[in-house]
């Protein structure tokens, strides 16, 4: 791990084992399972925001829970850089649902004060309350809101409270798991603007999980694209949108609204997401890829590096910068 590396994932996998029948246990048969995350390697630098995108079920939220320590990987290694005293960084997580992630029996003061007390960041009730008031103002709420309960707030206000609670622990690393997907569009913009300001002012290192490419483009310095548990592409944000290298990335961009100002029609990705318990052989994306060839069906693609420092997994070097996703119009060159 270099001096700039804040978090390093190496070959991380997570398998959810299915229950065995009595006969399988007697025969000592491997029950198998669903490989939600498959051999993911990723590095996040200090002060950087890395985004993870992909369809529902691609494994990005599972990866976030592995990084947070809420669950252990089946294999692989997750390493945080330690400070001079040997302490690992404090970590906080902002969840997708602002309704279920707050305890309705606690006041807002109790909710925000809890991480302050757990980490012993302030001493005395007055100092803790002053910090709670400061955090409420920081996220655009009022100190008077500390006396209220979560059910007295709208979804957007609740998410602001969740952000205040996360910041109360004075984290060096923040995981945001779809923090705006449960909110109305107008409220999403407010929360995103708030998060961008906090990133800039507090110099946070972040992992931002979303399925919305419009969101990740403005929030992340680098973006990783996940498909069926695998990281199929990773690149600096603008490079990924300017010249995607993996067909799935190109199709995600085409399918997203507001990504192409010339073509306002939507292009949903054809086909069904395969069952992750039984992923396709070879390249996992070949069942939906408009460029698939025989080699894609039989052999897993190698990992390649781009001149811009990105990575992608594909058998071919495809010109996908301004190319239609219709196979007949694609310019394909074998690697």
Instruction: Assess whether pLDDT exceeds 80 at residue 237.
Output: yes
Instruction: Assess whether pLDDT exceeds 60 at residue 264.
Output: no
Instruction: Assess whether pLDDT exceeds 70 at residue 328.
Output: no
The sign of the torsion formed by the CA atoms of 271, 176, 231, 62 equals negative
- Residue of 20 and 87 predicted with greater confidence: 87
Q: What three-state secondary structure class fits 332?
A: strand
- pLDDT band, very low/low/confident/very high, at 150 (cuts 50, 70, 90): very high
- pLDDT band, very low/low/confident/very high, at 184 (cuts 50, 70, 90): confident
3-state helix, strand, coil in the chain (%, to 5): 35, 25, 45
Measure the CA–CA gap between 254 and 248, rounded to whole angstroms. 10
Residue 125's CB is within 10 A of a number of other CB atoms, namely 9
Instruction: Assess whether pLDDT exceeds 60 at residue 2.
Output: no
pLDDT 10s digits, 42-57: 999 999 999 999 998 8
Stretch 246-269: mean pLDDT: 72
What letter would DSSP give residue 70?
Answer: S
Closest by Cα among 48, 71, 75 to 61: 71
Stretch 246-251: mean pLDDT: 94
Measure the CA–CA gap between 279 and 285, rounded to whole angstroms. 9
Q: What is the pTM of this model?
A: 0.86
Measure the CA–CA gap between 63 and 80, rounded to whole angstroms. 15
């Amino acid at each position: 791990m270099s001096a700039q590396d804040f978090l390093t994932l190496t070959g991380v996998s997570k398998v959810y084992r299915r229950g065995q029948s009595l006969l399988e246990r007697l025969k000592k048969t491997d029950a198998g399972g669903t490989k939600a995350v498959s051999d993911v390697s990723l590095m996040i630098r200090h002060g950087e925001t890395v985004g993870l995108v992909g369809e529902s079920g691609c494994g990005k939220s599972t990866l976030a829970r592995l990084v947070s320590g809420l669950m252990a990987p089946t294999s692989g290694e997750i390493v945080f850089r330690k400070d001079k005293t040997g302490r690992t960084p404090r970590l906080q997580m902002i969840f997708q649902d602002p309704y279920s992630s707050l305890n309705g029996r606690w006041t807002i003061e109790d909710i925000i004060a809890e991480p302050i007390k757990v980490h012993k960041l302030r001493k005395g009730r007055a100092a803790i309350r002053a910090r709670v008031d400061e955090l409420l103002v920081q996220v655009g709420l009022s100190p008077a809101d500390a006396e209220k309960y979560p059910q007295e707030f709208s979804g957007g206000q609740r998410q602001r409270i969740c952000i205040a609670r996360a910041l109360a622990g004075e984290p060096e690393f923040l995981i945001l798991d779809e923090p705006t997907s449960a909110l109305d569009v107008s409220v999403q913009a407010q929360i995103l603007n708030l998060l961008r300001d906090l990133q800039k002012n507090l110099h946070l290192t972040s992992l931002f999980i979303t399925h919305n490419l419009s969101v990740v483009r403005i929030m992340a310095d680098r973006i990783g694209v996940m498909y069926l548990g695998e990281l199929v592409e990773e690149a600096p944000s603008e490079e990924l949108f300017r010249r995607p290298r993996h067909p799935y990335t190109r199709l995600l961009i085409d399918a997203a609204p507001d990504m192409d100002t010339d073509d306002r029609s939507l292009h949903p990705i054809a086909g069904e997401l395969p069952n992750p318990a039984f992923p396709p052989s070879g390249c996992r994306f070949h069942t939906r890829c408009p460029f698939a060839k025989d080699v894609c069906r039989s052999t897993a693609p190698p990992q390649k590096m781009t001149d811009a420092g990105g990575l992608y997994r594909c058998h071919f070097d495809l010109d996908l910068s301004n190319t239609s996703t219709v196979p007949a119009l694609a310019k394909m060159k074998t690697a």
